[in-house]
Amino acid sequence: MYARSATLAAAFFAAITACAAPQVSWLGMRHNFGAFHEDEGTVECTFRYVNTGDEPLRIVAARSSCGCTLPRYTKDDVMPGDTAMLTVSYDPTGRPGKFSKNVYIEMNVPSPRQTLTISGVVIGAPTTVAQRYPVEFGPDMRLSRGAIMAGEVARGRTKSVFLEAYNASTDTLHPAIVGSPEWADAVWMPEAIAPGEQASLVCHVLSGKCPEWGLTTDHIAINPGDGSGEILRLPVTVVVSEDFSKLTDAQRAKAPVITATPDRAAFGTIGRASGQAATETVTIRNNGRGVLEIRRVYSTDNGVSAHISHTKIKPGKTATLTISVDPGQIGGKILNSKIMIISNDPARPNLVVRAVGEISD
């Protein structure tokens, strides 16, 4: 009987011992700093925790999700019933906008990993905002670039372009798209931009709806949502190309081949005072086996224009490219302009002919 009682007592003591362990209870696991200025420097907050267990509690390790966030804590044991604290600091230097950072705590408790979160909004210093968002867009908004540039997009395909924006004011902005070309579908994300926060203008470029081959430039009309009622214009550009990627070797062998003779139009010296446009011609020839189709001929330079006599050129045939230069619209004294010829030649879909010369007063 005595042996049995001793066994039961030992088992009871072992059970009590097994249940004895540290336990942690946080008095809060999230802290929001709210909005503060970058120039205020590093900010910090304190997280308090209580050992609600029966054994000493200690932090084994603490790390953050970013080098800008630094946890500091005591390495001493926290006795049962005692309270301790952990301090987390955040360095906002060069980090304007909304932030949310995690701090991961390892403790000697049954569930060893604990996660603390800090958040807030950094109102950027003028120098930081100017570096990351150099383009002023109205009095309160800053942009990372002064235009939406989609680059080259194959006809019929869609490309999404993101333009980053920043609210440099102390009020929430509600920007709105009030007008855009048919081929540029733009939307703000989010629709409301709180003070000091970032947003994106997302533009879906629909190349199949572009009216021209090659370079197309237009603008998106935006109400910045600052209450001024002013409508701002943001340029948007795309270069629409033809997709030749699915052509077989046999189809390429039967394709047209474009050449230009000469490959530059030499205008010599053109007198600005004359007020008369000068013209030169270039021969465009199809040396291939298929019909050459001229999609577009254009120049982006002021005072330079071009026209081709035929837009469809049979194999072995030619067309005349006439280039005109109005010296009164040419800035400076050097003429060096590009005329783009877009065709269905898969090897050279964008042929460049240069117009060169001097402008005299």
User: Count of CB atoms within 10 A of residue 199's CB?
Assistant: 21
Of 135, 339, 350, 325, which Cα lies nearest the Cα of 232? 135
Does residue 7 lie in a domain region? no
Residue 211 and residue 260 share a domain: no
Q: First-to-last CA distance in the chain?
A: 125
What ranges in the chain are assigned the alpha helix state H? Answer: 2-19, 126-132, 249-253
Residue 28 and residue 94 share a domain: yes
pLDDT at 274: 78
Which of 196, 213, 241 is the endpoint of a domain? 241
Does residue 254 lie in a domain region? yes
Residue 259 and residue 203 share a domain: no
% of the chain surpassing 70 pLDDT = 95
Domain that holds residue 107: 19-123
Sign, Cα dihedral of 190, 194, 195, 196 = negative
Residue 349 and residue 300 share a domain: yes
Residue 284 and residue 227 share a domain: no
Instruction: Work out the pLDDT band at 19, boundaries 50, 70, 90.
Output: low
Does residue 275 lie in a domain region? yes
Does residue 179 lie in a domain region? yes
Residue 26 and residue 115 share a domain: yes
Instruction: Work out the pLDDT band at 4, boundaries 50, 70, 90.
Output: low
Ordered DSSP codes for 47-96: EEEEE-SSS-B-EEEEEESSTTEEEEE--SPBPTT-EEEEEEEE--TT--
pTM of the model: 0.72
Instruction: Work out the pLDDT band at 12, boundaries 50, 70, 90.
Output: very low
Ordered DSSP codes for 164-192: EEEE-SSS-B--EEEE--TTEEEEEESSS
Does residue 5 lie in a domain region? no
Q: How far apart are CA 187 and CA 190, in angstroms?
A: 9
Residue 110 and residue 46 share a domain: yes
Which of 123, 157, 176 is the endpoint of a domain? 123
pLDDT at 8: 45
Of 314, 309, 356, which Cα lies nearest the Cα of 335? 356
Domain harbouring 276, CATH code: 2.60.40.10
Task: Enumerate residues 6+ apart whose C-beta is below 8 A from 227.
Answer: none
| pLDDT tens digit sequence for 62-78 | 999 889 999 999 889 99
pLDDT at 20: 75
Q: How far apart are CA 326 and CA 166, in angstroms?
A: 43
Does residue 325 lie in a domain region? yes
DSSP label at residue 208 = G
pLDDT at 66: 87
Contact (Cβ atoms closer than 8 angstroms) between residue 23 and residue 109: yes
| pLDDT tens digit sequence for 250-292 | 999 999 999 999 999 999 999 988 778 999 999 999 999 999 9
How, if at all, do strands 158-167 and 148-154 pair?
Answer: unpaired
Q: How far apart are CA 340 and CA 301, in angstroms?
A: 11
Residue 174 and residue 144 share a domain: yes
Any bridge partners for residue 72, and if so which?
Answer: 87
| pLDDT tens digit sequence for 298-314 | 999 999 999 999 999 99
Which of 241, 268, 297 is the endpoint of a domain? 241
Least reliable range by pLDDT among 1-15, 118-132, 248-262: 1-15
Residue 161 and residue 98 share a domain: no
Does residue 9 lie in a domain region? no
Average pLDDT, rounded, for the chain: 91
Residue 219 and residue 200 share a domain: yes
Backbone angles phi, psi at 263, to 5 degrees: -90, 5
Number of domains in the chain: 3
Instruction: Work out the pLDDT band at 110, boundaries 50, 70, 90.
Output: confident
Residue 143 and residue 223 share a domain: yes
Residue 294 and residue 351 share a domain: yes
pLDDT greater at residue 1 or residue 52: 52
Does residue 14 lie in a domain region? no
